[in-house]
Structure 1
Amino acid sequence: MVQVLLVDDDIELADIMREVLANYSIELHAVHTSEEGLKELDTNRYDVVLLDIMLPRVNGLQLCQEIRYSGKPYKDVSIIMVTARTELTDMVVGLETGADDYIKKPFEPRELVARINSVLRRAERSEPRSQASAAAYPANSPGTDSQIQLHLDNNVLTIDPQRAQLLVNGNKLSITSMEFELIAALVEQPCEILSRDHLLERVHGSSVIYTRSIDALIYRLRNKIRDAGSDVDFIRTVRGRGYSLVGRPAGMIT
């Protein structure tokens, strides 16, 4: 059974969601403050975390960022932001802080279940030896044990599909399943410009989501690559067209 943690101060909503999600083989555990959420994550393992933005004291955006930069085993858990706000800015900020998806209140139970299943599928695809990881490399590559490197000036970007890892100058980045999916999509067609719609279809499995969510993911990846020690930008923006991965391929490394 899928284990989901809800952090929301609406106790009545939590009770309703618990009953409804049980019909879809999803077990919901609810806490009502950010502090309780972190304590619960320290104690138990969850597949997905649902974070309400409007939490008391420490809001959902702050909690999302704290989870992602915690350095703890739960730092890469799939996160869905839950918000009653309709502003696009709030949704994009949520993705920038590390969320994998978002859903707006009020929502239909089936919509929430679909979002949960979607982030779980992405997490599965970025597991070692997954089809999505292997697809990021040519069919004649030495296998999923291989890595690929891109060189740009004196910097090296290494993509490791077996472990779903990204390294910069030998330093491993902490990335989410969605971020790895984005890199995998860019590596499939290096130096080619990929539109936001194409990347949305690959990363989200749908092009219905706002295209600016891709911009937020690119923003996160660029920051992580820079923070890991790169002084160049491996992801190129082509205004009005999309993004491409740049660098001189060094071939496959086994």
Structure 2
Amino acid sequence: MKVLLIDDDLELARAMQPVLKTYSIDLDAAQRPEDGLQKLKKNSYDLLLLDIMLPKINGFDVCRHVRASAGVYKHIPIIMLTARTDLTDLVVGLETGADDYVTKPFEPRELVARIHAVRRRFGVPENEPGGEHERREASFCFQIDGTHLVVDRVNARVYVGRANVPLTSMEFDLLVLLCKEAGRILNRDDLIFALQGVNRIYSRSIDAMIYRLRHKLRSVNSDVDFIRTVRGRGYSLIGQRVVNDMAGA
């Protein structure tokens, strides 16, 4: 696995490289945001580690830039690194499109675990509970007024009609959860617990992710909304469940 670190702390990069190497993770590093963005354009990485406190451009703006870019790297999983524990910073990081965050100082094993957890979101874990049932649920398909929503868990792809809808790993996770519980109203606590645990994601982030997810799904057909908001109660995925012939396409 090849990971890019954008952090102005040169000593951190030097210390992390041999440690991550023992976990089969090759770490490349850039001290300046502009250098990191150039590396993203020229090289292929599996994940981006992004410090919030950067010179000239902060990590939030770098994250926004990556997600808004036209390059293939716009969908790269992003883990934010922060020395601050302010709730607002953590929420903003997730709202800008980051997939997770790690608070400095951190243990190498914690970082490695977060890296693998984020990467697994784009596939079905081999040890996921459910056995045969989960294999049958490797994809989901719903339709409203002839418009189909297909969620292919194996290839981590989402389609509205025949159009591919790129999502961040956390947005994809959220959509899979809604599909699993289609028709059921899930409140914020349900979603928080199922996605990451109460200590790592917050109600405001859930609302922001639902907003982004809904916006992306409706970008193909604004007349069809697969996510229903039940005021004061939560969110639900709606639509008629149908047999899917697009998964793996």
User: Could you say whether these structures have the same fold, taking a TM-score greater than 0.5 normalized by the shorter chain as the test?
Assistant: yes
| Aligned residue number for residue 5 of structure 1 | 4
2:243 corresponding residue in structure 1: 252
Counterpart code for 1:209: R
1:15 — aligned with what? 14
- Correspondence for 1:191: 183
| Structure 1 pair 172–221 and aligned structure 2 pair: CA distance change class (3 A) | same
> Per-residue deviation at 1:169?
4.9
Deviation at 1:240, TM superposition (A): 5.1
Deviation at 1:55, TM superposition (A): 1.5
For 1:107, the equivalent position in structure 2 comes to: 106
Change (3 A) 1:239 1:110: farther
Q: How far apart, in 1, do the equivalents of 2:87 and 2:105 lie?
A: 16
| Structure 1 residue aligned with 2:36 | 37
Instruction: Give the SS at the match of 2:236.
Output: strand
**Partners of 1:80 and 1:103 within 8 A in 2:** yes
Structure 1 counterpart SS, 2:172: helix
Q: Report the aligned-residue RMSD.
A: 2.9
CA distance in 2, matches of 1:49, 1:29: 10
Residue matched to 1:125: 124
Whole-Å separation in 2 of the counterparts to 1:27 and 1:222: 35
Does residue 95 (structure 1) correspond to residue 94 (structure 2)? The answer is yes
Contact 1:169 1:230 (8 Å CA) reproduced: no
With over 3 angstroms needed to count, the CA separation of the structure-2 counterparts of 1:140 and 1:6, relative to structure 1, is closer
Distance 1:226 1:88, change over 3 A: farther
TM-score, normalised to structure 2, is 0.82
Q: TM-score, normalised by structure 1?
A: 0.81
Which residue is 2:202 aligned to?
A: 211
Using the alignment, how far apart are the partners of 1:216 and 1:185 within structure 2? Answer: 16
Distance in 1, Cα, partners of 2:224 & 2:157: 19
- Residue 208 of structure 1 and its aligned partner are, at CA, apart by 3.3
Output the amino acid matched with 2:16. M
> Quick check: 1:168 aligned with 2:160?
yes
Letter matched to residue 235 of structure 1: I
Partner of 2:54: 55
Query: Identity of paired residues, percent?
Result: 50
Alpha-carbon distance in 1 for matches of 2:76, 2:134 = 31
Between the aligned partners of 2:123 and 2:135, the Cα distance in structure 1 is: 24
Amino acid at match of 1:54: M
* Deviation sequence 1:24-50 (CA, Å, 0-9, x none): 332211101222112111222222111
Q: Which residue of 2 aligns with 1:223?
A: 215
Number of residue pairs aligned between Structure 1 and Structure 2: 242
Q: CA deviation at 1:131?
A: 8.7
Greater shift in the superposed pair: 70-79 or 206-215? 206-215
Contact residue 140 and residue 179 of structure 2 kept, 8 A? no
Provide structure 1 residue ranges, at least 5 long, that are not aligned to the other structure. none
Instruction: Please tell me the residue identity of whatever aligns with 2:222.
Output: S
The one-letter code sitting in structure 2 at the alignment partner of 1:89 is T
